[in-house]
Amino acid sequence: MIKKGIILAGGKGTRMSPLTKAVNKQLLPIYDKPLIFYPLSILMLSKIKDILIIVNKGQLNQYKKVLPNGKNLGIKITYLEQSKPRGLPDAFVIGKKFIGKDNVAMILGDNFFYGQNLSTLLQNNTKLKEGARVVLHKVQKPELFGIAQINKNQKITKIKEKPKKFFSDLAITGLYFFDNKVVDYSKKLKPSKRGEVEIVDLLNFYKSKNQLSADLIGRGGAWLDTGSMDDFYKTSTFVSAIENRQGLKIACIEEIALNNGWINKKHIKKSIKFYGNCDYSKYLANLNK
């Protein structure tokens, strides 16, 4: 059972410069909430309560203004700083003490997920005992993503980063589930030509041991990478459309905590006071009725 989760919220966000010169990308707004709320909500929907957020050096206080320590959500948030980007698997080396002897989930801080059966998918994956599992999503342009090929048993048979020749349309999203061996495996990885350790190399390590499987976001589900300016605003428009049509908020972290039984209505009142007079607070007030 996976009870710990990591959000990798470092990186320079160069594709969104000059905005990211002053503010970390994960603190910019996707419609009415900071981007960081969305990956955090995914871990909370997974029923994970012990969360490590890895941020850039010097940006810790910016995050703590929005997400102090998680007590208001009935969870525990720990922060660690990353001096410079060294690749995704570096998160497991940085978070070694946090992970301890447990299995762990990791989500990239700029990834957005949405779907009707998403909670069920997430909670099924936290039951992982050994090996690794990735979440895949069909894409129209496989050449732009890390792509995986799977067999009928959902085992991954091939992985390639931005393939020139088509062999699958299943992209590897930024959501991963690993057993505790991920720490040792990550330490053994050697930097690629660009000077970083690569997630594909880590996944191939598990594949070589026949311990890499996949889960798929089906039709009706959505995965968006907000790494570019264009994708960032497309995601914001998507959230706006869904919320205004349904009257329900995506990634309302207080609502998820309340539904999970982690907090009560007194906590909601404190959150309303914390956020002040805004539409988000008005939505929280309706939860208290």
Structural domain contains residue 159: no
Instruction: Indicate the range of 21-35, 114-128, 199-213 predicted with least confidence.
Output: 21-35
Range of the domain at 116: 4-139+173-251
Contact call for residues 38 and 114 (beta carbons, < 8 A) = no
> Quick one: angle between helices 37-45 and 118-125, nearest 10?
70
Contact call for residues 225 and 231 (beta carbons, < 8 A) = yes
DSSP state letters, 9-26: --S--GGGTTGGGTS-GG
- Of all helices (H) and strands (E), which one includes residue 163? none
Structural domain contains residue 147: no
DSSP state for residue 191 in the 8-state scheme: P
- Of all helices (H) and strands (E), which one includes residue 127? none
The C-alpha atoms of residue 96 and residue 159 are separated, in whole angstroms, by: 26
Structural domain contains residue 84: yes
Structural domain contains residue 202: yes
Number of domains in the chain: 1
258 — pLDDT class (breaks 50, 70, 90): very high
Handedness of CA 259, 80, 213, 172 (dihedral sign): positive
For residue 80, list its beta bridge partners: 54
218 — pLDDT class (breaks 50, 70, 90): confident
pTM: 0.95
CATH classification of the domain holding 210: 3.90.550.10
pLDDT over threshold 70, residue 39: yes
pLDDT over threshold 80, residue 273: yes
